[in-house]
Amino acid sequence: MNKADRRVKIKYRVRNKISGTAERPRLSVFRSNKQIYVQIINDDEGRTLVAASSLGMEKMPKKEQAAKVGEKIAQIALEAGITQVVFDRNGYLYHGRIQEVANGARKGGLKF
């Protein structure tokens, strides 16, 4: 089993336990080598409500970039009327950039 297969296995294990609803949508994080992408998803309808990413941001360390994306998604979510979310780390370990996204979203006003 390689690293990617292991992450997918963990991802499905996490997704069996959490689900986004209209009242508490799911905040899903995807991390690539250069960028970070965040979506807030209503799983009942299978629809992405809001999204944000680090594309087009100025050059900065990746952890700072992740924190800015967390704050950005929180701002967009609050404008859309979303205050509470369920955090989906998407099979990644909860540290580094994933943790910075969560902390940035909390700082921006989202409740987990």
Q: Give per-residue pLDDT as tens, 21-73.
A: 888 999 999 999 999 999 999 999 999 999 999 999 999 999 999 999 999 99
Paired with 50 in beta bridges are 40
Alpha carbons 19 and 54: distance in angstroms, whole number: 25
In the chain, what are the domains?
3-108 (3.30.420.100)
**pTM of the model as a whole:** 0.90
Other Cβ atoms closer than 10 A to 73 = 27
